[in-house]
Structure 1
Amino acid sequence: MTQPHPLVEIWRGPLAESLHSGHAVICDANGNIREAWGDPATLILPRSSAKMLQALPLVESGAAEAAGLSTERLALSCASHSGAPIHVERVQRWLADLGLGDDDFRCGVQIPMGEPERDAMLRANGTPCQAHNNCSGKHAGFLTLAQHLGAGPEYIDPAHPVQQACLQAFEEVTGETSPGFGIDGCSAPNHACTLHGMARAMAQFAAASEGADARQTAMVRLWQAMVAHPELVAGETRACTELMRACSEPVALKTGAEGFFIAILPKRGLGVALKVTDGATRASECAITALLVRLGVLSADHPTAKRYMNAPIRNWRGVTTGMIRPDARLLS
């Protein structure tokens, strides 16, 4: 097995004080690895980076069309949102249109992820609900599919028709039989695959053609919804949202817990997947930024790129003490 590759360095003064290692793969639509760092065969849990795969049955089954889902709702079905009003209110209207309420969710109550939203709720002595959960859009999609299939309310059960449809799509698009699953933070199953399999899946999204078949049409509609509504996929100041806005061509980006990140590059037919082995978000955001620069879809001089790559680290007095920067081999 190839060892994890250095991905991101944390510098303080003249020394690289810390190092984040991991694995990264760039794949084309034929499943071929274009470039890789570390071990493409490493087994991973893609966490929330798999939400586009979990949303495929929602679209390709006809459930999204039957429910009249807008591009905003398709973006939310792929989102790990901040729990801002623009997210929560849209999810709540979606639920109401299904004739359902917050108690029908199975994702759990979560205080908003976004600091401004969290602070505002605390100042107002507000109470979060399940619609504030960062995965509530995905779960609204699950409930929409469950209604379409005439299936029962326990849609997160691995044996439920919704989760069986998600597993089938996951295995077919990654090109692998999943060896098992973990339970995600939102209580839904999260299936394992190799990093190569996840990059292969993202490349299939990138190369899909609307109208070719139900699956490819679903892929195109999902990534297009993400690119059209980056503020719904994550939220203001969040890396997914800011980097999608900054790219010079359409690129769909999605973070996952524990240092995971994916990119879908439709104009180039490429998919990217990376995993930071210590689970650090600061490292995955820096590494994906470096790979976007490497692939020519993001300028290294763009202010957003500078926020995540070669960004200064400051102490409590605002003094610059070092920087976070990608390993040089991600760029060269």
Structure 2
Amino acid sequence: MTSPIAPAPFTEIWRGSLLESQHLGHAVICNGKGEVVRVWGNPEQVIYPRSSCKMVQALPLLTSGAAARYGLTREQLALACASHNGARIHIDRVSNWLEQLDLSEGDLRCGAQKPRDSEVLHSLIKHDDSPCQIHNNCSGKHAGFLTLSQHLGAGSEYVEIDHPVQQACQEAFEEATGETSPTYGIDGCSAPNFACSITGLARAMGWFASAHTRNGRADDAAVQLREAMALHPELVAGEGRACTALMRDMGGKVSVKTGAEGVFVAILPEQELGIALKVVDGTTRAAENAITTLLVSLGALDGNSPSAKSYMSAPITNWNGIHCGEMRPAAGLQF
């Protein structure tokens, strides 16, 4: 029997002269042809992409003709791919989108979530209001689902696995990854999240990255989505978030997206490469560190940029502001 392939060292936490903690993971880089270019750990590890695959879930919104029918803007396409902070720039746009559809907050199925944005959260507390579904970080994705559902004339329970919206999402996901999904789980926003291998997820990102070299309807949709993300990084995540900071520092040339439980992906159109990674212990700081390291290694991100300094080799300070250690990438992750 073949032994399972062990995860690779990704991120190290040093305190003084000792390696205090280490995060392990799996990562794959694929080109636009779906070929594996580089591997760390087990490329066939099956994972849930979580929110890292929102641009894949948004493909049917465009390929169906729904986006064109409702005249969706690039900002709305960026929100369809977003895991946003629930800031005013996010919730106002989602509210307007629902009004455009003659729908309301009650038509969403993502669930109420406390906003990450401090200004909006403090306003809710001040006025003794409760968070609603529009504050949910996935409300933009769900507005996209509702748009597609309305276009298809489908029922209101669009998160159900047998609903035409989710069937379209599964078909798009399996085409982009080049795999038949072995299973699905229910995501934090109640929508199905289809599983795939790390290689499959990287293959999908490579397909997005090289979409401009092809002429199909899905290829055009992929270009529109990745460009919307890169042009509106503030809508994809928000202030203080790695996705927004990284895309800003790469000047709209690369699209990146985080997912819960230590998943991160990147789409590099100029190099026609896609990256997918998963940190085994699900730690966000390690996923941010790893994707930043790979982007710097590929020359897509300046190693002296603010985001590289924040996420790649970040100092660790205590409550008194004393520098007591640092987070750094494992040597084997850099090339």
TM-score category (smaller protein) = over 0.9
Residue 115 of structure 1 deviates from its aligned partner by 3.9
- Kept in 2, the 8 Å contact 1:210–1:220? The answer is no
Residues 234 and 244, structure 2, Cα contact 8 Å, conserved in 1: yes
* Residue of structure 2 equivalent to 1:237: 240
Residue 171 of structure 1 corresponds to which residue in structure 2? 174
Q: C-alpha separation between the residues in 1 aligned to 2:116 and 2:259?
A: 14
1:305 alignment partner, one of 292, 302, 308: 308
Aligned mates of 1:312, 1:77 — CA distance in 2 = 34
1:249 Cα deviation from its structure 2 partner: 5.8
Distance 2:110 2:15 in 1: 40
- Tell me if the contact between 2:231 and 2:252 (Cα under 8 Å) persists in the aligned partners: no
* Root mean square deviation, CA, Å: 1.2
Measured in 1, the distance between the counterparts of 2:213 and 2:334 equals: 33
Q: Which stretches in structure 2 are left out of the alignment for 5+ residues?
A: none
Instruction: List runs of 5+ in structure 1 lacking aligned partners.
Output: none
CA distance in 2, matches of 1:73, 1:146: 16
Cross-structure match for 1:294: 297
Distance 1:193 1:187 in 2: 19
Distance in 2 (alpha carbons) for counterparts of 1:234 and 1:147: 26
Query: What pairs up with 1:155-304 in 2 under 5 angstroms?
Result: 155-209=158-212, 212-247=215-250, 250-304=253-307
CA separation in 1, counterparts of 2:29 and 2:192?
26
Using the size of structure 1 for normalisation, the TM-score is 0.98
My pick for the range that moved more, 26-35 or 272-281, is 26-35
Matching residue within 12, 16, 40 for 1:13 = 16
1:121 is matched with which residue?
124
For the 8 Å contact 1:82–1:114, the answer to whether it is kept is yes
Higher mean C-alpha displacement, 205-214 vs 267-276 = 205-214
CA distance in 2, matches of 1:275, 1:46: 9
- Residue 328 of structure 2, aligned match among 306, 325, 330: 325
Query: C-alpha displacement at 1:304, in angstroms?
Result: 1.5
For 1:30, what is the secondary structure of its paired residue? coil
Mapped contact 1:249–1:297 kept (Cα < 8 A): no
Contact 2:230/2:252 (CA < 8 Å) preserved in 1? no
- Residue 47 (structure 1) aligned with residue 50 (structure 2): yes
Amino acid aligned to 1:327:
A
Q: Quick check: 1:91–1:137 contact (8 Å CA) kept in 2? A: yes
- The code of the aligned residue for 1:67 comes to Y
Task: In structure 2, give the amino acid aligned to 1:201.
Answer: A
Give the conservation status (yes or no) of the 8 Å contact 2:84–2:138.
yes
- Matching residue of 1:316: 319
For 2:190 and 2:101, the matched residues in 1 are separated by 21
Q: How far apart, CA to CA, are the structure 1 residues paired with 2:252 and 2:60? A: 27
Question: Which residue in 2 is equivalent to 1:30?
Answer: 33
TM-score (norm 2): 0.97
Residue identity matched to 1:35: R
Out of 135, 138, 151, the position equivalent to 2:138 is: 135
- Per the TM alignment, residue 210 of structure 1 is displaced from its structure 2 partner at its CA by 7.6
Deviations 1:265-290 (A, max 9, x none): 00110000000000000000010000
1:87-98, aligned counterparts within 5 Å? 87-98=90-101
- 1:60 is the counterpart of 2:63: yes
1:297, 1:264 → 2: CA distance? 10
2:74 counterpart (71, 83, 98): 71
